Homo-oligomer: A and B are copies of this chain.
Amino acid sequence: MTKHKIKFLPYDREIEVSEEQTVIRAALEAGVHVNASCGGGGQCGKCRIIVESGEIEGGTSERLNREDLEKGYRLACICRAKSDLVVRVPIESEIDPRMLKKFETSRQAARVRQVNFEDLKSRGLIIPPVEKKYLELPPPTTVENLADSSRVIKFLKTHHNEHRLVFWLAVLRKLPDVIRQADFKITATIVRPVFDDGKNQITNVEPGDTTSRNFTIAVDIGTTTIYGQVINLGTGQILAEQGDYNAQIAFGEDVISRLIHAEKPGGLDELHGALVKTINGIIRNITAEAGVREDEVSSITFAGNTTLSQILIGATPAYIRRSPYVPVTTLYPPIRAIDLGLDLAPHANALLYPSVSSWVGGDIVAGVMGSGIYRSSKLSLYIDIGTNAEIVIGNKDWLACAACSAGPAFEGGGIEFGMRAAEGAIEDFSINPRTLEPMYLTVANAKPRGICGSGLINIVANLFETGIIDNLGRFDRELKSARLRDRDGIYEYVLAWKNDAGIDRDIVLTEIDIENLIRAKAAIFSGCQTLLGEVGLGIRDLDRIILAGGFGSHVDILRAMTIGLLPEIDPARVTYIGNGSLMGARMSALTNRIRKDVVEVLKKMTNFELSETLSFMDRYMAALFLPHTDLDLFSGVKARLNSRIAR
């Protein structure tokens, strides 16, 4: 990936970006404001820059006349660097560039961390849960006429040092014919026990040598989206993956509405059916894409929240919704995939990640396992923000977890123009503190349609750092701009005028939206504080933060700290693991080490029902400010705010 340096004038700020990156995204990452109001698709024509040196590709548009082009003007959102560049951002003449520079905060995304199968293997952490063994059996004679199953077991003992073997009924049913049709050359599938005292189960026999065809599927069951991966059990390689909307959405968008539906007559069956239909669709697609037959899939591993896991096994989640919030189980027994209604072979095993409580589910436990925080001596905060937010804090000695009643603000819930990170969602934002003109980029550079979670954080953080809103989230009534207005008694900022928008209205952010965001972030932050407080620690003791969930990939860490969502620590110690639930599912699918560890982890994980924890409410109230009542917890933000006094 070719990289080039771009220097932005008059900010005198330089950033290295890849050739694929648009110049406007580079500007945003560098913390350089360029007015932009169409989302990045070259339509508003506002993001004009002057190329002072270097070679660029693109950037011309009918929005620029010949004179502009001759002067070196280009549209930043549709041009890319082909060499090192120096570009100048034209600013309004009345503005002092030195002032603008005070508001620079370069975009800081979390470092992405992924599982390295080969590394795990070399460290002895891969203990295959399912293996195939090719056996060239001696045929029976009149002198040695062992039963077929005994023949297989004896051979495995003698030649493969396999013990404690037991056949599945379905295997016995086909064994005599398979063994003879294949002239006594067969492949046996052996499912390993997680603990040494368990049995090695022979779950399948196939004619010939099929040892290279041994696959597993990992599935993250989310309330909104379900992701599946088909993985080679021998190499750990992901062969295909797909996400699809959970068909349960037809019965309600959030967990609560699913829980309510589950209690209606036939509701549980409907929800189970919709879930299984979605999963079966994904299985069909990813196996087809990977060229894997369904009967070559030996196992499937699920990670999902407690409600969805219970629906998957067909157990009523009725008592999850009401205090004292009791799930049916935390550990799931071994299950045959077909007993869940899955379109897999009878020999396929299904594993469900255990959950901690009704509101800290298998998805979070999977994330803990995938992130490895339970093996580290460092004090980590694991945070998964999705439809709800769950947090885990701890290290190899202890783990505390809680579900925060953050609500779905980060997925667009409770925000007037909130939306998921779909096409047209404003995800990046900057504001000119003088003119209040916005710079925003949208998902897929489409015309803006709303605001996604990371966009919301970026907008509010920018508004706060530029003093446009105060620490209660209220707009400065003194500011005069068409973009700031009172609508029916509620103050709001116009992000995109109707003409620029991909919808038929002005897109705005209201004070009520900001209040909702503050409540959401306060629930999460005070949740972290409460967990730490319950073990006698504080925010300052945190060594690192691990972000999980689709949300984490785009969030600007510093902005998230600015609004007080994330505790303020060195950004280099914040990592992003993507879909932690899926990562954990994949790891459990690949090694029994994780399955064994998870039982211990579960014993260590103390669940806190925050609503039942006395200290929580005080901490929550104190967190209902930007970034927090106690500014000493956010010294970096404090410093940035202080520098702004110069304005």
Q: In the bound complex, do residue A175 and residue B145 qualify as a contact, i.e. CB atoms below 8 Å apart?
A: no
Partner of A180, one of B146, B177, B319, B324: B319
Q: In the bound complex, do residue A333 and residue B147 qualify as a contact, i.e. CB atoms below 8 Å apart?
A: no
Q: In the bound complex, do residue B357 and residue A149 qualify as a contact, i.e. CB atoms below 8 Å apart?
A: no
Complexed CA–CA distance, A332 and B175 (Å): 13
CB distance from A23 to the nearest CB of B (A): 54
CB distance from A156 to the nearest CB of B (A): 14
- The answer, yes or no, to whether A197 is at the interface (CB within 8 Å) is yes
Q: In the bound complex, do residue B143 and residue A329 qualify as a contact, i.e. CB atoms below 8 Å apart?
A: no
Q: In the bound complex, do residue A339 and residue B149 qualify as a contact, i.e. CB atoms below 8 Å apart?
A: no
Complexed CA–CA distance, A341 and B295 (Å): 24
Within 8 A of B (CB), among A159-176: 166-169, 172-176
- The answer, yes or no, to whether A150 is at the interface (CB within 8 Å) is yes
Complexed CA–CA distance, A319 and B326 (Å): 53
Within 8 A of B (CB), among A107-146: 140-146
Q: In the bound complex, do residue B172 and residue A141 qualify as a contact, i.e. CB atoms below 8 Å apart?
A: no
- The answer, yes or no, to whether A535 is at the interface (CB within 8 Å) is no
Q: Output the nearest chain B residue to A197 by Cβ-Cβ distance.
A: B197
- The answer, yes or no, to whether A315 is at the interface (CB within 8 Å) is yes
- The answer, yes or no, to whether A314 is at the interface (CB within 8 Å) is yes
Contacts of A327 in B (CB 8 A): 147-148
Q: Output the nearest chain B residue to A354 by Cβ-Cβ distance.
A: B147
- The answer, yes or no, to whether A488 is at the interface (CB within 8 Å) is no
Q: In the bound complex, do residue A166 and residue B333 qualify as a contact, i.e. CB atoms below 8 Å apart?
A: yes
CB distance from A171 to the nearest CB of B (A): 9
Contacts of A612 in B (CB 8 A): 142-143
With A167-B333, A175-B328, A329-B149: A609-B319 Cβ-Cβ less than 8 Å: no
Q: In the bound complex, do residue A172 and residue B326 qualify as a contact, i.e. CB atoms below 8 Å apart?
A: no
With A169-B339, A315-B172, A333-B172: A326-B148 Cβ-Cβ less than 8 Å: yes
Q: In the bound complex, do residue B140 and residue A172 qualify as a contact, i.e. CB atoms below 8 Å apart?
A: no
Q: In the bound complex, do residue B315 and residue A173 qualify as a contact, i.e. CB atoms below 8 Å apart?
A: yes
Complexed CA–CA distance, A329 and B335 (Å): 24
CB distance from A10 to the nearest CB of B (A): 60
Q: In the bound complex, do residue B314 and residue A173 qualify as a contact, i.e. CB atoms below 8 Å apart?
A: yes
Contacts of A150 in B (CB 8 A): 329-330
Q: In the bound complex, do residue B323 and residue A142 qualify as a contact, i.e. CB atoms below 8 Å apart?
A: yes
Contacts of A314 in B (CB 8 A): 173
Within 8 A of B (CB), among A511-526: none
Complexed CA–CA distance, A197 and B197 (Å): 6
With A141-B324, A324-B142, A333-B166: A319-B197 Cβ-Cβ less than 8 Å: no
- The answer, yes or no, to whether A318 is at the interface (CB within 8 Å) is yes
Q: In the bound complex, do residue B142 and residue A329 qualify as a contact, i.e. CB atoms below 8 Å apart?
A: no
- The answer, yes or no, to whether A95 is at the interface (CB within 8 Å) is no
- The answer, yes or no, to whether A313 is at the interface (CB within 8 Å) is yes
Q: In the bound complex, do residue B147 and residue A330 qualify as a contact, i.e. CB atoms below 8 Å apart?
A: yes
Q: List 19 A-B contacts (CB under 8 A).
A: A142-B323, A142-B324, A142-B609, A144-B324, A145-B326, A145-B358, A147-B327, A147-B357, A148-B329, A149-B328, A150-B330, A167-B329, A169-B333, A169-B335, A173-B314, A175-B329, A176-B316, A176-B319, A180-B319
Known: A142-B323, A167-B333; 13 extra A-B contacts, CB below 8 A, are A140-B326, A142-B324, A143-B612, A147-B329, A148-B319, A148-B327, A148-B329, A149-B328, A169-B333, A169-B335, A173-B313, A176-B326, A177-B318
